[in-house]
Copies of this chain bind each other. A is one copy, B any other.
Amino acid sequence: MSLPHAILTALLEKPSSGLELTRRFDRSIGYFWSATHQQIYRELGKLEQAGHIRALPAPVPSRGQKKEYEVLPAGRTELADWVRRSEDPKPIRDALLLRLRAAAVVGTEGFADELRRHLSLHRAQLEEYRGMEERQFPAERRTTEADRLRHLVLRGGIELERFWTAWLTEALAEFDGRDHRADC
C-alpha cells in the first residue's frame, strides 16, 4: 500500500502530470520506491476516484492531452495518517544472496564475474547519490526541517550502497582467495 502514498508525496512536493511523475520516479523518489508509468497512471486514476487528488481543469480534455494533478485535502490527510500508522519492516528479498546460496549447492562457475558486475553497478549508484548529495544538500542547505529529513533519506540510500559495495568486495576476496588456494 505504498505506491499511492509515494505518488501523494511526489504531488505535494510538486503537482505534475503522469509522465512527469514517471520521470521523477526514475530520478529522486523512485530511488526508494520504483514504479513504471503503467502503475502510476493506474494509481492516479484510483486516487482521483477516491477523491484524494484532482486533475487541474484542462483546456481540451482528451486522450493524449497532458493532465496535471494536485493533491486535495483528503489526500493530504490520508498521507499524514499513513505516516503515523506503524508498519513492520518487510523481510529481505534479495535474489543475489539467494543465488549465492544456490551456488553453494550447484557450483560457483562464473559467479565471480556476476559479483564484479554488481559491484560496479552499486559503485555507480553510490556515485550518483553522492552527486545528488553535493548538488541538493550542500552544507548551507541543511537548515530547514524538511531539508534535513530529505537529506537523511538520501543518506540511507548512500549507506545502503556502501553496504553492498563493501559486502561484494568481501565476497570477491573470498572468491579470489579460493582461486589462489586452488592455484597452489
Contact = CB atoms under 8 A, between A and B. Distances in A.
Contacts of A102: 5, 8-9, 79, 82-83
15 contacts: A13-B105, A33-B93, A34-B91, A79-B106, A80-B107, A83-B103, A83-B106, A83-B108, A83-B111, A86-B113, A87-B99, A88-B121, A97-B153, A105-B146, A163-B163
Q: How large is the interface on A (under 10, 10 to 19, 20 to 34, 35 or more residues)?
A: 35 or more
A99 B86 CA distance: 10
A24 to B, nearest CB: 12
A6 interface: yes
Q: How many copies does the complex hold?
A: 2
Interface stretch (A41-49, A50-58, A154-162): A154-162
Contacts of A183: none
A141 interface: no
Contacts of A162: 163
A150 interface: yes
Contact of A97 (B13, B32, B90): B32
Given A103-B83, A104-B150, A98 B33 contact: yes
Interface string A106-125: 11111101100110011000
A100 B152 contact: yes
A170 interface: yes
A12 B31 CA distance: 36
A23 interface: no
Interface in A131-148: 145-146, 148
